[in-house]
């Protein structure tokens, strides 16, 4: 058996997307973004939101047309050719595996800093076991995680706006980082926005995908944008651009500044990281499943358990890779590389959406999304861009080895 069951509704898909977007990134991304953009932080958030909207629009159109597991791997293959589909899938699996490791390391950093890597590996093993129980249980767990995290973030924002420790005049205090700083901040904040890809990769497991997928993607994105905008303003009001840039744990530091118990933030950060890890492993395993079906990864990974309706071998393989990465990699390096790879993934999605219609009105959004993805990706730190380019080259080389020999499967 290689087919998945359609069991998820709009609410389930939204919960999976929100758990990926309102996750560990919201507790870490604002500090580095403020260091890059200064008082123009909110401008960077606006740029990230525009790029995310374009990506979401392209992904929604494509997901409704191709409601199968794999996301942009499937879209690139069908619209641009097997090579571009493979490159998108490669970018997603490798980049998001690094992101999974980053989420796991965040859990370790907050829960038990003295044993960060050991806790991270344990978190990966626990999440893998949960996903093996079935996607419906994973979606219910995502709902619980999102509700708790949003409640804590809302409480911190309210405390910032109502306490004497915050000052709205601080929002524009300090020097702006210039256009390049805004783009770099957008890239760092986009790392936390990119969770709606998890919804598209679950296309084979949602009911009525032509209606469910677009609604779930835009609902999750809109809700996340509201949360990020309110929280970003609250953090700037509580700490100022310079204080936010220097903060190691921005939300916890802001909570202390306005008299909110930081312990609640610590718990929420751990829950958020686990929720993100849950959704990320789901998405990576489904793309692995799709690539294995086409022979770009070992075909045994395409097997789906008949009783539980989950790709057990793909789940176990992804869990093992992420566990090894969580035991070895550095958190900041993982985040930077993941951002680059995900932006390449969405660049292929926008290029695929460009081919859906010849009308210029239908091509404006994918064109803006493609240009935005490439600009923001190249603005990331040089180390992340260099490693990303090497990994893309490795993916292209892998395609020449794994592609079928038929003429129709030659890269364009």
- The CA-atom distances, in angstroms, between 383 and each of 103, 157, 334, 337 are 20, 34, 11, 8
Rounded CA separation 257/325 (Å): 35
Phi and psi based region of residue 71 (left: phi greater than 0; alpha: psi -120 to 50; beta: remaining): left
Rounded CA separation 355/363 (Å): 8
Supply the pTM of this predicted model. Answer: 0.81
| Residue pair 12/138 in contact by the 8 Å Cβ criterion | no
Please give the chain's pLDDT, 412 residues, in tens.
556 677 778 888 887 778 768 877 788 788 888 888 888 898 999 999 899 889 988 988 898 888 776 789 999 999 999 999 999 999 989 988 988 998 888 888 778 878 889 999 999 999 898 878 765 555 676 678 778 888 999 999 999 888 776 676 777 766 667 888 999 999 888 877 776 666 766 667 778 877 887 888 888 888 888 999 999 999 998 888 888 888 877 888 899 888 899 889 988 888 888 877 877 787 788 889 888 988 888 999 999 888 777 889 999 999 999 999 999 887 777 878 888 999 999 999 999 999 999 999 899 999 999 999 999 999 988 888 999 999 999 999 999 887 765 434 443 3
Rounded CA separation 41/185 (Å): 7
Residue spans of alpha helices (H) in 68-201: 72-79, 82-111, 116-132, 135-162, 178-193, 197-201
Tokens representing residue 163 in the block = 């306490």
| Residue pair 244/34 in contact by the 8 Å Cβ criterion | yes
Q: Which of 14, 281, 13 is nearest to 126 (CA)?
A: 281
| Residue pair 91/344 in contact by the 8 Å Cβ criterion | yes
Number of Cβ within a 10 Å radius of residue 3: 11
Rounded CA separation 359/222 (Å): 27
Backbone angles phi and psi of 176, in degrees to 5: -75, 155
Number of Cβ within a 10 Å radius of residue 126: 16
């Amino acid at each position: 058996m290689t087919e998945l069951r359609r069991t998820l509704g709009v609410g389930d898909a939204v919960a999976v997307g929100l758990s990926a977007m309102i996750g560990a990134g919201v507790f870490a991304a604002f500090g580095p973004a403020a260091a890059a953009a200064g008082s123009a932080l909110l401008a960077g958030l606006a740029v990230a939101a525009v790029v995310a909207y374009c990506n979401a629009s392209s992904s929604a159109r494509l997901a409704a047309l191709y409601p199968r597991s794999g996301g942009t791997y499937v879209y690139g293959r069908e619209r641009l050719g097997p090579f571009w589909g493979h490159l998108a899938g490669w970018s997603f699996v490798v980049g998001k595996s690094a992101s999974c490791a980053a989420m796991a390391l965040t859990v370790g950093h907050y829960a038990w800093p003295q044993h960060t890597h050991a806790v991270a590996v344990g978190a990966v093993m626990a999440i893998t076991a949960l996903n093996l129980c079935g996607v419906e249980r994973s979606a219910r767990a995502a709902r619980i995680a999102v509700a708790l995290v949003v409640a804590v973030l809302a409480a911190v924002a309210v405390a910032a706006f109502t306490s004497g420790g915050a000052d709205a005049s601080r929002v524009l205090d300090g020097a702006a980082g210039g256009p390049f700083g805004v783009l770099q901040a957008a890239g760092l904040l986009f790392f936390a926005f990119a969770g709606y890809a998890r919804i598209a990769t679950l296309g084979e497991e949602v009911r009525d995908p032509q209606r469910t997928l677009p609604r779930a993607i835009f609902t999750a994105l809109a809700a996340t944008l509201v949360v990020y905008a309110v929280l970003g303003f609250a953090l700037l009001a509580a700490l100022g651009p310079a204080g936010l840039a220097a903060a190691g744990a921005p939300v916890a530091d802001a909570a202390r500044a306005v008299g909110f118990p930081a312990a609640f933030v610590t718990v929420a950060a751990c829950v958020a990281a686990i929720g993100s890890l849950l959704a990320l492993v789901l998405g990576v395993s489904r793309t692995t499943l799709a690539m294995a079906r086409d022979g770009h990864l070992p075909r045994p990974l395409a097997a789906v358990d008949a009783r539980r309706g989950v790709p057990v071998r793909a789940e176990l393989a992804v869990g093992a890779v992420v566990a090894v990465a969580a035991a070895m990699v550095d958190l900041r390096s993982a985040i930077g590389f993941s951002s680059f790879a995900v932006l390449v993934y969405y660049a292929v999605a926008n290029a695929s959406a460009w081919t859906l219609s010849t009308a210029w009105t239908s091509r404006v959004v994918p064109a803006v999304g493609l240009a935005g993805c490439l600009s923001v990706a190249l603005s990331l730190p040089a180390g992340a861009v260099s490693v990303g380019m090497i990994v893309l080259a490795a993916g292209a080389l892998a395609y020449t080895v794994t592609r079928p020999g038929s003429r129709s499967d030659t890269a364009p």
